[in-house]
Structure 1
Amino acid sequence: MSSRTVFHDSIIPLPAEPGPTPGGLMVNATRPEQPDQTMNVHFSLKIADDVQSSLEERVAQGEVVPADEIAKLYTASSSERDGLVDWLNENGYQNVRISRDGVYAQAKASVVAKTLEVNMLGVTKNGVTFTSAQNAPSLPDEVANGVRSINGLQPFRQANKHFIRVPASLDLSHTAVDGPVAAIDNRPPYTVAEIRKAYNAESLGVDGNGQTIAILIDTIPAASDLTKFWAQNGLPTTIAQVDEINVGGGVLPAPTGEETLDASWTSGIAPKANIRIYASGALTFVALDAALDKIIEDLMTQPAMRQLSISLGLGETFMSPGEVQTEHIKFLHLAAAGVNIFVSSGDAGSNPDNTGHSPTGPLQAEYEASDPAVIGVGGTTLRLSATGAVNSETGWTASGGGVSRFFPRPSWQIGEGMPGGTHRLVPDVSAAADPNTGASLVFGGQSIGIGGTSWSAPVWAGFCALMNEARKNAGKPALGFLNPSLYKLSGTPAFRDITSGNNGAFHCGPGYDQVTGLGSPNVAELIARL
């Protein structure tokens, strides 16, 4: 028998005996009558250490690397990949497909268990039972050399959406109209014009023209909801500006509101931008990996796609290190190509549980906002006066934030005024998120109020499109990775420093904090300074 390589970082440990786990899961002994489920498995491939280190350094400087150079350097060894593909085909895997840095395949759980030498258990989360690996997978040494991790073996680990419907008691009468809102009265749920004014993003001569904003989510919003939202807000956006990409090609789930919020508010802030919605079909990390690969693939034909909004996350203690590294490489690739990725920091404060909605978990940051190749976006409670001026803006009590357990402190988070420590801090920036002073939205044909950091992240993606348009109009290239530049602007008028509020363990104060980051944007100042 040939020796095998074990991939310990590909799973999180599960107890040997059936019963509840500290993370809120129920581990069951697999019953003989349990269906032999089809599993989607992603074999993440290594790229050379020196290539990754070089990209990390260049991104940390805000440098944009030419796409053809990335493609040349940033591809796993074809000889190692081809050997793995042959092995998968010979051992009962189906629908084997290759990406630049990975191989995707499907197989019955029984085939996966046999070929990867894993024990399968039933794991129940939120009333749904998933067939999942209990122990770390392995591969024969002769095909394991190029593999970084084997992902998808614990499909109960899924990203959570970061949106919250506002209380039913909130008065929606001033936004529940079929045509443009007649007058701005600056009371929540807020309209696009009110938010643009609050962040000094109005009358700047930019509207997203020539820019493309990508959105990563599981499904597609209803076109009728988008068009009604644009009409209510007096926006010129049309459905022809929205491209829908069904990444997996299967039947997509029904809209829940997240996808509608993301598309409505990115386009609301930048109404002339094109919107590309990448529907992953599911919130498993393998499905999200595939969607990120599709975005990377499309960069060659979509050069204006320089901003990406993601309103998803999962507490880092529930993530496998292998999956985190897999997505980090993809985010690093996008950042190196000049795509700024805005990720919501979470809606359960400093201690999110595995549902992402309750502050009863361990002290932790959420991934993907904790990745050092993205801009983590926290949340505030915004209150406007009758004239539209900002009465107050404080840290939202449920804004995600904290210290990453996976990533060291990036160079741009080191310096005077930054908290001590050696690991990546979250978030980087913030904007309105509190559902009690939330956003107007049309969902299911009805006017509703909505909030969460799923609101602040797409708002920032829209602001980035305005900044990139302004640079284009000035004859300058598009922005590189924003964080190195943003942190240099700490304490300047480019940000409204949020000095009160907390998210549980962390408190707002002068300068950077782990509730609101650098603060909320002054878009006119950011455009001038960037």
Structure 2
Amino acid sequence: MLWTASVLAFVAIAQAAPKCTHKLKETIASPRDWEILGTAPQDHIIELRIALPQPNFHLLEQQLYEVSDPSHERYGEHLSQDEVNELVAPNPDSLAAVTEWLAEHGIPESQYTRSPANDSFKAKVPVGLAEKMLDTKYHVWKHTTDGDVVVRTTSYSLPEDLHPHIELVQPTTIFARFKGHRTTFHFSDEQNVDPSPARGTATIVDPTSGVKVDASCNTTVTITCLKELYNAVGVETSATNGNEIGITGYLEQFANIEDLQTFYADQRPDALNSSFETVSVNGGENNQTLSEAGAEANLDTQFAYGLTFPTPGTFWTTAGAPPFIPDSGTTTDTNEPYTKWLDFVLAQEKIPQTISTSYGDDEQTVPESFARRVCGGFAVLGARGVTLTFSSGDGGVGDGDPNPATQSCLTNDGRNVTKFIPGFPASCPFVTAVGGTIHVPEVAVDFSGGGFSNYFARPWYQEAAVTGFLEKLPKGLYKGLFNPNGRAIPDVSAQADNFRIFLSGRAVSIGGTSASSPTFAGFVSLLNDARLSAGQPPLGFINPLLYSVGVDGFNDITVGNNPGCGTPGFNATKGWDAVTGLGTPNFGKLKDIVLSV
């Protein structure tokens, strides 16, 4: 077959490569809920991602906070692609060392690629060669619950002299599955999809914000409901001021344009016949067969683009979906599609100013070294003026299972200790994590993911708000179950259930923090529209603003909790809380705030 000759050449060169002393680089306990099916085929191709240290990342982080802090004189002075690439570039010695190492194993420059900043390499190699390079053994692993299959190892080593020059190599120890955050999904009879009062027959006044909301919004959430609830009725945007919004799509979730038109006819007639730009990443498709429409993709695109029309929208469709069956005819393991997206978008000169992602996984399934590296990539986007929103998860304080009765809140470090399980990428301090609410008046929805990171320390912008919350907790409550010094989740919230979308031609009611993230991103995009139209730069990394002058632009949610791990979870309370964050947006107030900084 095609790879046979190359494999033999690779192995022969590798056997002749200089012998070096390997030193353990990373090891993990045998991952919970995974079983070994057998050894990985030696000729199976994997794409090694080799990350080099970024010695000046602290300078990038410093500049990110300067341009994102409304009290700083540099606020809004976002960096260019060249400027951020310079700040994350590796030491030339590291670049030379890794290049030499690859050459020693028969991998010339023509057979690998480097990132624009030269801080990472990607090389497709047979498993047999990867095992020699990393002094390890790859196996085929299967998840015992849903059947996902990956090629991984639980430890790997590098030549000792390379340790200062290589931060991490993947795929090795990552067993994350990166699922969509969606808790509820059911078809409704299109003739009777809305059991609430007919629109226009009753009104609810929200006591927190004082806004008037149609009573039908209590059971069926539409674009109009969100604009009423979040004080954005009558807001119009520009199609030509340079503002854009982006939605990420993964796991063969296809955004159907015919469904979008039906949605527009139902909720946004002025947007009829408009669409979005589809961008393929790593060969991703957007199959327009109506039966292949994805609930996640349709939810994200219909509400994000519906809220912001006529702002141009981008939908990235990134290839890679489990289950994956490794054999010599399948060239690459694509169970980490979101890193493919990050590589792709970091290489673009022009990026939408607001991007929403409704996918994630338990933080503990992602090796800390890998999580930190990915989080650093999000920091780069923030420094370039991009706001990233991520759904906070649908398991309350528990793992990604939205059913508290079946959650497993045990650590996967071999100790099997019960802990609250934060989600990633929501736990990255350089993104905006979005929790969920329900009904009018708003209360916390019980599945709203919230808690504290075990990897990332609490960032300075959260210090006052989160300390105040912790001080109000009963002494000793949940002691040992969470890290009180960790980055706190979520930052904000929005409605997260009973969203009316169209899927495969039918009206559907759907929910999850996968609904709240594109909703909040939509309102951020409206704020960016106002700033750009006023000649101001986009908001970029928004958290420092939200936790300072932005606090007054939120509706504080004080009712509800997020159970999980056999506990009631945290309570929504006055001020920031680990269920709804700062609360839900009041667009009118936020617009005044962001135009004045």
TM bucket normalised to smaller: 0.7 to 0.9
Equivalent residues of 2:42, 2:128 under 8 A apart = no
* Secondary structure, counterpart of 2:575 in structure 1: coil
After TM superposition, list the pairs within 5 Å mapping 1:117-516 onto structure 2: 117-125=135-143, 126-135=146-155, 137-154=156-173, 156-168=175-187, 172-173=190-191, 185-186=216-217, 188-206=219-237, 210=241, 211-218=243-250, 219=252, 220-237=254-271, 241-249=275-283, 255-282=293-320, 286-298=336-348, 300-302=349-351, 305-353=352-400, 359-361=407-409, 362-382=419-439, 390=440, 392-415=441-464, 417-419=468-470, 421-434=484-497, 438-489=498-549, 492=552, 494-504=553-563, 505-516=569-580
Distance 1:76 1:320, change over 3 A: same
Q: Distance in 2 between matches of 1:82 and 1:256?
A: 45
Q: Which amino acid letter does the alignment assign opposite residue 198 of structure 1? A: L
What residue ranges of structure 1 are gaps of 5+ in the alignment?
15-20, 383-389
Structure 2, unpaired ranges of 5+ = 1-18, 202-213, 322-333, 410-418, 472-483, 564-568
Distance, in Å, in 2 between the alignment partners of 1:454 and 1:27 is: 30
| Contact 2:493–2:516 (CA under 8 A) maintained in structure 1 | yes
Aligned CA distance change for structure 1 residues 444 and 397 (closer, same or farther; 3 Å): same
Tell me if the contact between 2:68 and 2:545 (Cα under 8 Å) persists in the aligned partners: no
Partner of residue 66 from structure 2, selected from 55, 58, 72: 58
Per-residue displacement from partner, 1:356-395 (whole Å, max 9, x unpaired)?
995432402101111110100001112xxxxxxx3x2111
Task: Give the distance between the partners of 1:172 and 1:393, measured in 2 at CA.
Answer: 26
CA distance, structure 2, for counterparts of residue 418 and residue 154 of structure 1: 35
Where do 4+ consecutive residues of structure 1 move more than 6 Å? Answer: 181-184, 354-357
CA distance in 2, matches of 1:151, 1:412: 32
**Equivalents in 1 of 2:240, 2:423: separation in Å?**
33
Cα shift at 1:87: 3.5
Q: TM-score scaled to structure 2, two decimals?
A: 0.76
What is the number of residues matched between the two proteins? 498
Instruction: Return the letter of the residue paired with 2:337.
Output: A
Is residue 396–residue 402 contact of structure 2 (8 Å, CA) maintained in 1? no
- 1:7 is aligned, of 21, 25, 30, to 25
> Structure 2 vs 1, CA of residues 462 and 431 (structure 1 numbering), >3 Å: closer, same or farther?
same
**Contact map agreement 2:491 2:580 (CA 8 A) in 1:** yes
Deviations 1:112-150 (A, max 9, x none): 222211122332111233221022x22224554332111
Instruction: Name the stretch that deviates more: 38-47 or 356-365.
Output: 356-365
Alignment partner of 1:224: what SS? helix
Percent identity between matched residues is 26
Larger Rg: 2
1:452-501 CA distances to partner (integer Å, 9 max, x unpaired)?
A: 00111001111111101111222322213211111124763x21111111
**Residue type at the aligned position of 2:248:** L
Per-residue CA deviation, residues 308-333 of structure 1 (Å, 9 max, x unaligned), is: 10111111121101110111111110
Residue 419 of structure 1: how far off its partner (Å): 2.5
For residues 116 and 354 of structure 1, the distance between their equivalents in structure 2, rounded to whole angstroms, comes to: 34
* DSSP-derived class of the 2:220 partner: coil
Query: Take 1:235 and 1:133, find their aligned partners in 2: how far apart are those partners?
Result: 52
Question: Quick one: distance in 1 between partners of 2:83 and 2:533?
Answer: 27
CA positional deviation for 1:164: 3.4
- Return 265-274 or 356-365, whichever deviates more: 356-365
SS in 1 for 2:85: helix
| Matched ranges for 1:65-80 at <5 A | 65-67=78-80, 68-77=82-91, 80=94
**In structure 2, the residue corresponding to 1:328 is in which secondary structure?**
helix
Q: Deviations over 1:485-527 (max 9, x none)?
A: 11124763x2111111111221111111000000011111111
Go from structure 1 to structure 2 and tell me whether the alpha carbon gap of 1:338 and 1:174 turns closer, same or farther (over 3 Å shift).
farther
501 and 158 in structure 1: CA distance in 2 versus 1, 3 angstrom threshold: same
Helix, strand or coil: the match of 2:527? helix
- Per-residue deviation at 1:222? 1.9
Q: Secondary structure at the match of 1:145?
A: helix
Question: Paired residue for 2:474?
Answer: none
Q: Separation in 1 of the partners of 2:545 and 2:239?
A: 21
Give 1:37-48 correspondences, 5 Å limit: 37-48=44-55
**How large is the Cα RMSD of the aligned pairs?**
2.9
One-letter amino acid matched to 1:215: I
Distance 1:301 1:307 in 2: 12
Which residue of 75, 86, 98 corresponds with 1:84? 98
Match of 2:415 in 1: none
